Amino acid sequence: MAKTPASASAMSGRQYISEATRKGTEEPSPNQEMLPLTARVNSRDCLEIGGCDVQELVKQFGSPLYILDEETLRTACRQYREALKRYYPGKASAIYASKAWNCLAVCAIAASEGLGIDVASGGELYTAIKAGVRGENLYFHGNNKSRAELDLAVETGCTIMVDNWLELETLAEMVASCDSPIKIMVRLTPGIECHTHEYIRTGHLDSKFGFDPNQLDRVFASISKQSGLECIGLHAHIGSQIFELQPHEDLAEVMVDWLVKADSYGLPTRILDVGGGLGIRYVETDDPPSIDAWVKTVSEAIVRACKEREWPLPELMCEPGRSLIGTACCTAYRIGGRKEIPDMRTYLAVDGGMSDNARPITYGSVYRAVVANRMSEDCTETVTIAGKHCESGDILIKEAPVPATQPGDILVTMGTGAYNYSMASNYNRLTRPAAVLVSDGVAKTILERETYEDLIRGDRLPEGLGSGLSN
Catalytic residues: 390
Output the CA–CA distances (angstroms, integers) from residue 424 to 43, 119, 294, 353, 393, in the order listed.
34, 18, 30, 10, 16
Pairwise CA distance, residues 429 & 311, whole Å: 57
Q: How many residues does the chain have?
A: 471
Pairwise CA distance, residues 352 & 333, whole Å: 7
DSSP class of residue 175 equals G
> Which segments of 265-352 does DSSP mark as H helices, in order?
291-308, 322-325
- SS3 sequence, 23-60? HCCCCCCHHHCCCCCCCEECCCCCEEECCEEHHHHHHH
Half-sphere exposure of 104 (CA within 13 A, CB side): 9
Q: Which residues contact 187 (CB under 8 A, 6 or more apart)?
A: 141, 161, 162, 163, 209, 210, 211, 234, 235, 236, 237
Report the SS3 class of residue 312.
Answer: coil
Q: Which residues contact 370 (CB under 8 A, 6 or more apart)?
A: 13, 16, 35, 47, 411, 412, 414
User: Using an 8 Å Cβ cutoff, are 315 and 301 in contact?
Assistant: no
User: Using an 8 Å Cβ cutoff, are 430 and 387 in contact?
Assistant: no
What is the amino acid identity at position 99?
A: K
DSSP class of residue 271 equals E
> Which segments of 210-280 does DSSP mark as H helices, in order?
216-224, 246-264
Pairwise CA distance, residues 223 & 140, whole Å: 18
